[in-house]
């Protein structure tokens, strides 16, 4: 197992679109193990493979209080979204120190493959629904700051670039 390096906004590799996983083999199982370790180490409640510069459709999530319920989503797809919207103050391991409200559908039905290769369907609401949508956005090359105004995006970009220079 290994803690992987997380790409930081505004790294252009965060905007690559990930390709579907074709075969769940030892390489994918190792990637999932390393992503879980990276997420728990950070600590975060989710991580998409894009964030560790692997452009394949793999997501790990654990929204449980005691960090004991790892959920793995391979090739996740949103089948349906709720009618209602919810606002949630989001953060991202690729955008450290920035927290901003984003509005998204309040429920989603997601279909994915588990680590065993078996398809499953899940209905999510609340924080899990937010997190699943945030992670699938990453796989599609989208970072949550892209829901904010251009002005805010510019400010966040400058702030993080300055931070990176100072810690170089």
Characterise 135 by phi-psi region: left (phi > 0), alpha (psi -120 to 50), beta (else).
alpha
Pick between residue 91 and residue 105 the one whose CB is nearest to Ni ion.
Answer: 91
Question: Is the link from the previous residue into 56 a cis peptide, with omega within 30 of 0?
Answer: no
Q: Active site includes 90?
A: no
Binding site for ligand GNR (CB under 6 A): 44-48, 51, 88, 90-94, 130-131, 134-135, 138
Binds 76, which of ligand GNR, Ni ion, none (CB < 5 to 8 A, cut-off by type)?
A: none
Q: How far is the CB of 95 from Ni ion (least distance, A)?
A: 7
Considering CB distances under 5 to 8 angstroms, the limit depending on partner class, which of Ni ion, ligand GNR, none binds residue 105?
Answer: none
**Total site size for Ni ion, rule CB under 5 A:** 1
Q: Which is nearer to Ni ion, 27 or 87 (CB)?
A: 87
* Phi and psi angles of residue 68, each rounded to the nearest 5 degrees, phi first: -120, 5
Could you tell which of Ni ion, ligand GNR, none binds residue 106, using a CB distance below 5 to 8 A set by kind? Answer: none
Site track for Ni ion across 78-107, x = CB under 5 A: --------------x---------------
Which one, 42 or 115, has the nearer CB to ligand GNR? 42
Q: Which of 12, 89, 103, 135 is catalytic?
A: 135
The CB-nearest residue to Ni ion is 92
- Cβ atoms of 153 and 146 closer than 8 Å: yes
Q: Which does 45 bind (CB under 5 to 8 A by kind): ligand GNR, Ni ion, none?
A: ligand GNR
Q: Which residues are catalytic?
A: 135
């Amino acid at each position: 197992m290994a803690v992987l390096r997380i790409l930081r906004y505004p790294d252009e590799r965060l905007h690559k679109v990930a390709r579907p996983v074709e075969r769940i083999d030892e390489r994918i199982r190792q990637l999932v193990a390393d992503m879980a370790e990276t997420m728990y180490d950070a600590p975060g409640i989710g991580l998409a493979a894009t964030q560790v510069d692997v452009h394949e459709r793999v997501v790990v999530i654990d929204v449980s209080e005691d960090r004991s319920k790892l959920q793995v989503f391979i090739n996740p797809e949103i089948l349906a979204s709720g009618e209602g919207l919810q606002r949630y103050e989001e953060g991202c391991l690729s955008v450290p120190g920035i927290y901003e409200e984003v509005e998204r559908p309040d429920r989603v039905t997601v279909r994915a493959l588990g680590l065993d290769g078996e398809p499953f369907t899940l209905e999510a609401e609340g924080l899990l629904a937010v997190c699943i949508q945030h992670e699938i956005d990453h796989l599609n090359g989208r970072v949550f700051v892209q829901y904010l105004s251009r002005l805010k995006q510019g400010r966040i970009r400058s702030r993080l670039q300055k931070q990176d220079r100072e810690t170089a």
